[in-house]
Amino acid sequence: MVFIVVTGTPGTGKTVFSEALAREIGFTHLDVGKLCLDRGLTLGFDVERQTYIVDMVGLRRAIRSLKDEDVILDGHIAHLIAPPEYVKMVFILRCHPRVLIGRLKARGYPPEKIHENVMAEILDVCLVEASEVYRDKLCELDSTDKPVERLVSDALAFYRGDVKPRVGVVDWISKLAEEGLLEKYIRGVLE
Ligand SMILES: Nc1ncnc2c1ncn2[C@@H]1O[C@H](COP(=O)(O)OP(=O)(O)OP(=O)(O)O)[C@@H](O)[C@H]1O
Ligand SMILES: [Mg+2]
């Protein structure tokens, strides 16, 4: 059993990327959010954050019970629930917060939820969490202005060992400060 973990802030393009990569390398694509809902692996709904509370113990058990499959595990908590000993590579999808705001607005997310996700992207939350478990297996991919085909070909180069995986490809704090957007976004002004 081999896992490829695809994580990143909601809206960064994990599912679009995971589906394309799965097709290319013949892995099974597993959407963690869908799995939670399909198997009832939730402990309730957090009204304030407009999100389901995940049953992490049940979810880890469900993932471990997968048999003999090569799986792309896609979700913003995928790096927290995958069994590390079976993980071959962790891709972290990134997206410029301005573009991310557009994607999340298009989904109809409420402003507070967009703000929470924008802050998570600015502060590298998924990268920092994943770094605590995985070191040389991490690879960031910036989807801001790269078509999915390009992301997949970059990912394959890393996966096959032709290119060394890399982290630190984006620095949203410096970029947003340069663009005069940092303070606005921190305050939750998201136009
Ligand atoms: N490489 C890309 N270039 C341009 N747009 C993209 C790209 N990847 C994804 N998108 C767009 O961004 C939006 C979010 O993509 P996607 O659903 O894959 O995100 P996600 O990270 O899986 O989100 P979630 O964590 O909520 O499931 C979609 O509208 C999609 O069309
Ligand atoms: Mg998704």
Domain extents for the chain? 2-187
Say which residue, 69 or 132, is predicted with more confidence. Answer: 132
CB 68 within 8 A of CB 25: no
- Contact residues for 97 (Cβ-Cβ < 8 A; gap 6+): 118, 121, 122, 172, 176, 181, 185
For residue 165, pLDDT over 90 is answered with: no
Atom of ligand 1 nearest to the CA of 143: 1
pLDDT of residue 142: 97
pLDDT of residue 135: 87
For residue 10, pLDDT over 80 is answered with: yes
For residue 68, pLDDT over 80 is answered with: no
Average pLDDT, the chain: 96
CA of 176 to the centre of ligand 1 (A): 21
Query: What's the rounded Cα separation, in Å, for the pair 118 and 161?
Result: 32
pLDDT-derived band at 153 (thresholds 50, 70, 90) equals very high
**Has domain 2-187 been given CATH number 3.40.50.300?**
yes
CA distances from 185 to 67, 72, 94, 99 (A): 44, 32, 17, 12
| Eight-state DSSP code of residue 76 | T
Mutation test residue for ligand 1: of 96, 103, 107, the one with most atoms within 8 Å of CB: 103
Name the closest ligand to CA 8: 1
In this structure, the residues whose C-beta lies within 6 A of any atom of ligand 1 are: 8, 10-16, 33, 76, 93, 103, 143, 146-148, 151
Nearest CA owner, ligand 1 atom 8? 13
